[in-house]
Structure 1
Amino acid sequence: MKAAIEEWRHWLEGSTHPFQVITDHKNLEYIKSAKRLNPHQAHWSLFFTRFQFTVTYRPGSKNSKADALSRRHDRPLTDHQPESILPPSIIIAPDTLDLMDEIQREQRNEPAPQGCPANKQYVPSRLRLRVMQWVHTSLCSGHPGISHTLHLTQNSFWWPAMVKDVTNYVKSCFVCAQSKTPKELPSGLLQPLPIPQRPWSHLSVDFVTDLPPSDGFTPILVIIDCFSKACRLIPLKGLPTAMDTAQAMFHNVFRIYGIPEDIVSERGTQFTSQVWKAFCKQLDINVSLTSGYHPQSNGQVERLNQEIGRYLRSYCGREQHRWSEFLPWAEYAQKAFIHWSYTVPMRARIPTPHVPVVWRTITSTCCRRLDSP
């Protein structure tokens, strides 16, 4: 409106009769009576005082003359959808189509070649990128590495040169490049910890701190079973005391998996206090503290902390206050991983409870009394 009045200022300024401005923008009716204006609007209001006019609202359906003049007539109207300027390979958006149904429809044009396993779904060439993207970026997988992504893909799908395609896809994943950290080990001779003989008998414990608040939670208590590599991720309202740590361990680990034999932890105040030592002594748990300023002594839980950070950065990088919502998914993804350094049978997930000394003494005493005449 201001541009039009400026264009015909030599006709409108100084007119003895007010002219009428017809617009489909209803808010412009109050432009001359508005009291709270920003600097631009105040400058325009001062300009409008030089003219006598009234603003009349007319819906766009009835304002056909001005609407027709505002359209470009040099471009023909077309019914087809315009083509995207971005190649499909870099477009990441939710797919509303059922992937399996689309694979089966595409197989009519590209049937499975000879040598395709009978228990695998052949993926035509046009849909292979979508399958790899779906497997790699799913919440249940958590942007894993090449080996894990290949294993998850081979569970249900097959196509020639699958290993090469999956390797190239994971190496070119932009989210992985941003969120993952280097895994090179430091030089030097490492002294290994004792090898556990059953699940949940030897635990490694640590805290992940300095996180943004998420539903009132700030740190994470990270617990990993050194035998099966299963983990528990417990969000906490704040950095706990020794008593709070003992209660969290009992309610989230001991109550479910049994009492362990050994717990490896850093030298924080929670694990060096007399409360923690008395708690572990009462349950016949050995307390193992790492070397000072040497986190590699507790390497399993430190490595798990890196994976947790990578997972949370992958899914809530721009919404960091939502990390507590994704924490259960991170725990599920870590438990679903296959650790290639050893074979984990299904029975490794089923714990054999550790019986403290006091209960072993009571049991042996009762057995002797039953055996005595």
Structure 2
Amino acid sequence: MASVHPRVPESGIMSRPRPRHLAPVALLIVSALTLVGCGSDDESSEPPVASATEAEQETPGPDDEPTEPEDDTSLADFLRSAKVDDALVNRLGEVGDANGYGLGEGVETSLEERQQLATVQVGTCRDVAVGHRTWEGIQASDVSSGGTEEQAAAMADFLREEFCPHVAPYKEAPLPKQSLGGPEEDAKGGRGLASPVSWWDTRYRRVSWSEECAAQTGQPIGDPVAYRLSDDAVVCATVPPAEQLKKHLISVDVVFAEPVGEERAQDAALSLLPIDAVAEDETEGTNPDWSYLEGGCLNLNIQSQDLEDVVAGLKENAEPWAHAVHYSDGATADGAVGPYTGEVKQVSLSTGRNEPTDSGDLTC
């Protein structure tokens, strides 16, 4: 089945993996954390340019020893910021090894592999803390992805009773000072989707992501931002860590204070696209077979020739398409929460067109 969830393929941001087995997600976690780093939005992502004299002085001679690459400490740094020490990581790893959450049941993992699992579970703890997910749902998700009831219960019990009480809540940076009144379009004609954060900061007022978005969209690995779109709606997003995306928001969620009708939801999505955007076709989707949730969504493909120019330079094979996924309640890593009713609480908007498979199926 084709997926209508936009985050992973479009943004380069790792949505939370389903952590039954560590090996398939290890490189994704390391990559995401390495790309995110610890800098603020005000810091330049480019290194300072050295003068010609400095460059000549720094050019290694034939007798110079090669420089050893620096160790990657991104996992340890992330866990340290969450107040999770190595002793707790190892205790989690032991539970994971015994219950198939590592490289296989009974196979001992290394400290780095356990740090990768701990990074995933920090997000799990924070999602539960803000009400985005439940322990019942997390256990059901682990069972649906291959674990036994006993294994899933053992991990959930350890997380709930021993691991999560030590995890520090996500600490949001102070809201920046803004000078609003910027242009309606960015330099390429974009109006939000695929526009740079710098444009957003002159157009919409920033609001607290923790207060407005966390419970609805869950905890990202990256730098989240939130903007007031209207009196009844906010835009929630994560600044893409991938360097080629240059801090452009190519995947966003519109979250309404209360569910709204489809016309209102569509208008909100179109307001973030170039003015030539036209809704072309819609398809209802259901959750994937492995999901424990009984849920559905509505996918709307939107055509915009101008969007192709906006996206060009940010990603290969730019398309004149975007898609908006409508949820009546919300969505987690396990799919839509509840059926699609025609009322809309959340719209996930991303670049590119969603095509169903030959069977005509789309999954939420």
Regarding TM over 0.5, the answer is no
Q: Which has the larger radius of gyration?
A: 1
In the superposition, the TM-score normalised over structure 2's length comes to: 0.24
Q: Where is the strand percentage greater, Structure 1 or Structure 2?
A: 2
- TM-score, normalization by structure 1: 0.23
